[in-house]
Amino acid sequence: MKKKQIYSVIAIVIVIAIYTYEHYINSEEGAVIIENGKEVKSDTNLYFLPTSTTSQIVHHNNYSLSYSEPHEQAEWVAYELKATHLSATNHKRPYFEIDKAVKSGAAHWRNYKKSGYDRGHLCPAGDRRFTKEAHDETFLTSNISPQEHQFNAGIWNRLEQKVRYWAKKNDGVFVVTGGVLKNGLKTIGDESVSVPDQFYKVILDNNNGKIKVLAFLMNHKDSDLPLYKFVVSIDEVEALTGIDFFPELDDTIENKLEASRSYKSWSF
């Protein structure tokens, strides 16, 4: 065999070896992210987790969720956003991964391809920049919902930024986010991922036992209205979703907080 042919064969073998190794590394990294969802937190009550209407709660390292198989997305994603979590670090955006911790099978990211909708994070990547692992964990398909781009980049983004402001001001808040899931919604993709008509965000601040809450309900379209125009009572969100948001609170406190639409104790 001529030297040129030998060199060509060697070059091909090297390229194949490099590709195989990179594929293996990427698979291993993805597996680490996905397998974390099997770990159950022992202190979930401290996070004021809502009830699940689906009985399918998944605990990842940096957020928890309740997955709705009929709608192929989470009915809620819950996490604590501490002041120390806030970071300006820009991590490289990873590929989306199917969340294998969802026993019924999480939707594939391809459902969103050419759908006209963004893969809208429920736990924002921007809230989890404090480590690359925490950031990348938000790119699981159980943590996304179809969102119109103008909504995702507009009023919804404004609300996410305001939550970060409150997290810094109040030394941390607890956040619950999701789409209002119901029968008859428009769907996308081969797995019929529901497109919510409305999205909600519920925020709780626990300052040494002094608890205050705030709830937002937004139609799935962009708006120039100020954020306080979207404030509703938690009771209203519960009536739409069937979710009990803070069952661990004393009933007297819970009933009073969840009926209130006051936002005077929150700075806008």
Give the domain CATH number at 46.
3.40.570.10
Confidence of residue 158 (pLDDT cuts 50, 70, 90): very high
The tally of domains found in the chain comes to 1
Query: Does residue 121 carry a catalytic annotation?
Result: yes
Name the nearest CA neighbour of 75 among 243, 247, 258, 189. Answer: 243
Give the whole-angstrom CA distance, residue 97 versus residue 78.
19
In a domain, residue 43? The reply is yes
Residue 70 has pLDDT above 50, yes or no: yes
Q: Which of 129-143, 185-199, 239-253 has the lowest mean pLDDT?
A: 239-253
Supply the DSSP symbol for 143: G
Q: Do residues 194 and 93 touch, judged by C-beta distance below 8 A? A: no
Residue 25 falls within a domain, yes or no? no
Rounded to the nearest 10°, the torsion over CA 165, 171, 174, 178 is 10
Question: Six-digit token pair at 40?
Answer: 């159950």
Can you tell me the mean pLDDT for 25-39?
Answer: 40
pLDDT in tens, 80-134: 999 999 999 999 999 999 999 999 999 999 999 999 999 999 999 999 999 999 9
Q: 28 lies in a domain?
A: no
- Answering whether pTM is above 0.85, one says no
Domain assignment present for residue 171? The answer is: yes
State whether residue 130 is helix, strand or coil. Answer: coil
Quick check: is 12 in a domain? Answer: no
CA distance 175 to 215: 10
Residue 247 sits in which domain range? 39-259
* Active-site position among 121, 135, 149, 220: 121
Q: Is 54 helix (H, G, I), strand (E, B) or coil?
A: coil
Instruction: Return the residue matching tokens 């004021």.
Output: 48
Neighbouring residues of 72: CB distance < 8 A, sequence distance ≥ 6: 106, 107, 111, 191, 192, 193, 194
CA distance 91 to 211: 34
